[in-house]
Amino acid sequence: MVSLDSFNKTLQPDVRQTNSFSFPGDFRVFHIWTLIPALYVLFRFIRPLPAPLLAKIAVAGAMIVASEFHLITKLLTGNMFSPEIPKPLLLLTTGLFGMTVFMAVLLVLRDIFWILHRLVSGRRMKWHRAFWFILPVLAVMLTTLALKNGTAVPEVKKIDVTLRSLPPRFEGYRIVQLTDLHASRLLPRSWIQDVVTRTRELDADMIVVTGDMIDGWPEARFSDIEPLGQLRAKEGVFAVTGNHEYYFGAENWIQTFEKLGLYFLNNAGYRVSRGGDSLYLSGVTDAAAPSYGLPGPDLASALASSRPGETVILLDHRPENADLAAESGVSLQLSGHTHGGMIAGLDRLVASANNGFVSGLYEAGPLKLYVSNGSGIWNGFPFRLGKPAEITLITLHGETSN
């Protein structure tokens, strides 16, 4: 168990890292997946489009470039996670990419309907000329709404969580969870400041930040994340790393955030005491850490100083290992990472990649797991439909109090 007294509060970023970016292995085929919607639109919409050939070539070229803007920014800036380009240009490129994706989805739905119609009626359905205009207009509307939702300042979501072993003196204990802030050119300082202001107004007992706070190096992002130094809570502000911290030098980022007053629980724990009662807050690193030569998640180390029967709260960026946490005696796990699936329907795919956990409150045996939709979103796919961002206010209750 570590102590809060070890913090250095000097507000200057450590920028001694070399800024060498190691591309995560699971993203090496990402650019192929982003090209698939563009190719579908190309062959199912643009190719048969009743328009001049040069116009179709221009539209197809712009669409393919937009779909591969992650690869282009990687080649030009060194990585795809934090393109240091002006916000209007970032909005334009992501908007064109989003329009391509939504257009592909609409075309797939159209084609499925056509197939079903032919199977049932035995007749081929004709493509009305009006739909050459209706589908692009729908795609633009969906993209605009999803991008607006994705970049909006999150609202406060209030939930109550009942724990079997909660000590009486912690009845009504209030925790604010922030996660997946993804500070970037898309979600800059002004956005972070608004999140901090809304969080401080809640006057919580504790604030926890469960990873993916940034996209970018400290010298590029420090001004954007500096308002996090204004976070205040009675017990303190605690954090763990997410996968995105490791893409930009996690050790230096941890030092930078600690100087802003965040207290990291990476494979460590901290006891909160009230009279003779206590809560044990613990945290683990992200599974991406070993790929960067840093310690991976070690739940045993995080829980080493906990007491038998003590209420244990675990901060883990990813929700997928909740069953292991339950077996280890954790009472409540707080996670993010999934962004809630971002878009209704897509959340089912995201859930399958996270052992079924994607958004909201779950039970895994005696464990309660809360998976936040995230406060921000990655600039590479900044779209939300039906899965709003959130600042989560969690109020703890004991079973006997109900």
| 86-102 confidence digits (pLDDT tens) | 899 889 889 999 999 99
Instruction: Please check the confidence at residue 143 and state whether its pLDDT lies above 70.
Output: yes
Evaluate whether residue 185 is within a structural domain.
yes
Q: What is the number of other CB atoms lying within 10 angstroms of the CB of residue 96?
A: 17
Answer yes or no: do 334 and 384 share one domain.
Answer: yes
Number of separate helices (H) and strands (E) present in the chain: 12, 12
With a cut of 50, say whether residue 13 has pLDDT above it. no
Q: What is the pLDDT of residue 129?
A: 72
CB 246 within 8 A of CB 286: yes
Q: HSE, CB side, 13 Å, CA atoms: give it for residue 74.
A: 16
pLDDT at residue 8 tops 60: no
pTM of the model: 0.89
Q: What is the pLDDT of residue 28?
A: 60
Reduced to 3 states, what is the DSSP secondary structure of residue 381? Answer: coil
* CATH code for the domain in which residue 387 is found: 3.60.21.10
Q: Check pLDDT > 50 for residue 398.
A: yes
Same domain, residue pair 229 and 259: yes
Query: What span, in angstroms and rounded, lies between the C-alpha atoms of 316 and 289?
Result: 13
The token pair that represents 392 in the structure block: 């989560």
Same domain, 171 and 253: yes
Judge whether 1 lies within some domain. Answer: no
Q: Which two tokens stand for residue 28?
A: 């090496």
Is 316 part of any domain? yes
Q: Which residue has the higher pLDDT, 30 or 356?
A: 356
**133 and 166 share a domain?**
no
| Domain stops at, among 150, 173, 201 | 150
124 with 170, same domain: the answer is no
Query: 236 and 187 in one domain?
Result: yes
Q: Where are the alpha helices (DSSP H) in 42-173?
A: 53-67, 69-77, 87-121, 131-151
**Are the CB atoms for 84 and 77 separated by under 8 Å?**
yes
Final residue before a domain boundary, out of 89, 123, 150: 150
- Judge if 367 and 339 occupy the same domain: yes
- Per residue in 23-50, pLDDT (tens digit) is 454 556 777 888 899 999 999 999 888 8
Strands (E), 107-227: 155-163, 174-178, 206-210
Torsion of CA 44, 45, 48, 52, to 10 degrees: -150
Mean pLDDT of 131-159: 94
Question: Starting from the edge strand earliest in sequence, which strands make up the sheet with 206-210, in order?
Answer: 155-163, 390-398, 174-178, 206-210, 237-240, 263-264
Number of domains observed in the structure of the chain: 2
The tokens for 49 are 């489009």
Same domain, 168 and 49: no
Same domain assignment for residues 304 and 328: yes
Report pLDDT for 73. Answer: 77
Residue 9 burial (10 A CB sphere; 0-12, 13-18, 19+): exposed
Closest of 299, 293, 235 to residue 266, by C-alpha: 299
Tell me the residue range of the domain where 376 lies. 153-401
Last residue of a domain, one of 92, 116, 150: 150
Are 132 and 177 members of one domain? no
- Residue with token string 């699971």: 26
**Domain match, 141 and 162 both:** no
What pLDDT digit, counting tens, does each position of 282-333 carry?
A: 999 999 999 999 999 999 999 999 999 999 999 999 999 999 999 999 999 9
One domain for residues 169 and 113? no
Q: Using the predicted structure, report yes or no on whether residue 191 has a pLDDT greater than 50.
A: yes
In a domain, 99, yes or no: yes
Q: pLDDT higher for 392 or 116?
A: 392
